[in-house]
Structure 1
Amino acid sequence: MTHKLAIFNMKGGVGKSTSAYNISAGLVQFHQKRVLLIDIDPQGHASAALGIPIWQLDKQLKDVLQRQANIREVVISTASGVDVVPSNILLAEEEIPISGFPGRELLLRKAIGAIADQYDYVLIDCPPNIGVFSVNALMAADAVLIPVDMSYLGLLGINGIERALSLVREQLDHPIDIAGVLATRFDARNNLSKEVLKSLQDHFGPKVFQTRIPETVKLREAPSFSQSIFEYEARGAAAKAYQDLIDEVVQTYE
């Protein structure tokens, strides 16, 4: 069975792309899973972090959504073992035309259907908004993983996330679940981190992952070397945290 997870938050800077590509790489490295990472964020950060030259793409996700390419033509295999459907800013330029397509909410779901059974996990890195691309990601996914940074604004955004999920469930009739809520940029020395985490736990209960992703410079440095945190600093706190998170994800589904 293929598990399809959207990594979603409407706030930027929460570690969404960082989590998407590190979880993908870790599922391959530690659990020998077949993983497809779909980068539907026009920034293309998850693609670039895994070594894909996003400004030299012949074809990308926008071509799939415009029905100008088959998704198999767009998949790129990376050194980490993760297969990626990449994007760059050209995807954003096509948002308005794509928004006018019939059945626009289901374009990604239909595209994934052609290859999903080749993978154990399909992870979708969403843009930080609730536009047509995020809706496509949520409609294509079975569940959503929500990274939340330990800030007041991060906590404030929870209502917006829940409203977006309600829209998908009620207006688009797609029963998407919450796979888990992930505390990111966590600093145990900081009272605000502790307070925000406590608020998340009070609100989401057992849906909050036990793992907390620490605030580290190494997580920000790793993409510049086209490496996951497991390659860049294998013995560091961030690598240990993401490995623990991946174990939690696998235990949830298997």
Structure 2
Amino acid sequence: MCRTISIFNMKGGVGKTTTAYNLAAGLADFCHQKVLLVDIDPQGNSSASFGIPIWDLELQIRDVLLRKASIQDTVISIRDNIDVVPSNIILAEDEIPISGLPGRELLLRKAIASIEDKYDYILIDCPPNIGVFSINALMASQEVLIPVDLSFLGLLGLRSIEKALDLIRTALDHPLKITGVLATRYDGRTNVSKEVLQSLKDTFSDKMFSTVIPENVKIKEAPSFSIPVYQHDEKGVGAKAYSSLVQEVICR
């Protein structure tokens, strides 16, 4: 059965895209899973991280949401076991028209239903807000993975995330399981990283991933080479961290 997981946080700069594309690549390469990465963030960074020329797209996720194309028509195969549904900033231009469509919260869910039997995992990279694109992603998912950067503002934003997930569960009547909370951008030299990490563990206990993603230059460099961090810096701490995350996701 396909697992559909949204990578979601309402704060930017927490590592959503970095987590989405490294997790997609790791599930495919380490665990031989067939993975679809849906980039529903108008920035298109997940797509670009896999080397997709996002400014030359003939079709993208906006065409699916506007019902102008099937999702299968937008799929780009990266290599064995990894497909991507891309996006770019043009998606943002259509947010208002898409928000006015009947059944707007379920557009992505209905589109994915036609192809989900082809995949073991569908990962959705969300924008940093609770607008129509994130709602579509969450309504299309059974699970949500929440990256949280280890800063005071990262911790402060958790209440907003909880309210957003409560909206999905109650107002829209959609059960949503938290796959895990992922601590990102950890810097062991600073007290704030240590204190926020402990606060996260105290708050989420068994929902926390054991894996902690470090603040690491190689993680930031990898997208410029269109490869995941474990190919860019095989023995580095960033590569080991994301490899560990892949195993934890598989086991949950």
Counterpart Cα distance in 1 of 2:80 and 2:179: 24
For residue 124 of structure 2, give the secondary structure of its aligned residue in structure 1.
Answer: strand
* TM, length-normalised to structure 2: 0.99
Residue 184 of structure 1 aligns with which residue?
184
For residue 181 of structure 1, give the secondary structure of its aligned residue in structure 2.
Answer: strand
Q: Does 1:157 align with 2:146?
A: no
Q: Deviations over 1:152-176 (max 9, x none)?
A: 0000000000000000000000011
The equivalences for 1:169-208 within 5 A come to 169-208=169-208
Aligned-residue sequence identity (percent) comes to 63
Residue 114 of structure 1 aligns with which residue?
114
Residue 130 of structure 1 aligns with which residue?
130
For residue 168 of structure 1, give the secondary structure of its aligned residue in structure 2.
Answer: helix
Question: Mean Cα displacement is larger for which, 144-153 or 231-240?
Answer: 231-240
Q: Deviations over 1:150-204 (max 9, x none)?
A: 0000000000000000000000000111110000001122211111011111111
Residue 245 of structure 1 aligns with which residue?
245
For residue 178 of structure 1, give the secondary structure of its aligned residue in structure 2.
Answer: strand
**Paired residue total:** 252
Q: Does 1:11 align with 2:11?
A: yes
Residue 235 of structure 1 aligns with which residue?
235
Conservation of the 8 A alpha-carbon contact between 2:126 and 2:133: yes
Cα drift, residue 79 of structure 1 = 3.6
For residue 127 of structure 2, give the secondary structure of its aligned residue in structure 1.
Answer: coil
Cα drift, residue 219 of structure 1 = 1.0
Unaligned stretches of 5+ in structure 1? none
Residue 168 of structure 1 aligns with which residue?
168
Unaligned stretches of 5+ in structure 2? none
Runs of 4+ deviating beyond 2 Å:
none
Distance 1:128 1:2, change over 3 A: same
CA RMSD of aligned residues (A): 0.8
For residue 117 of structure 1, give the secondary structure of its aligned residue in structure 2.
Answer: helix
Question: Mean Cα displacement is larger for which, 185-194 or 61-70?
Answer: 185-194
Residue 31 of structure 2 aligns with which residue?
31
Q: Deviations over 1:62-98 (max 9, x none)?
A: 0000000011100001147410000000000000000
Counterpart Cα distance in 1 of 2:186 and 2:117: 36
Give, as a single letter, the amino acid of the residue that structure 1 aligns with 2:238. Answer: A
Counterpart Cα distance in 2 of 1:94 and 1:150: 33
Counterpart Cα distance in 2 of 1:199 and 1:167: 24
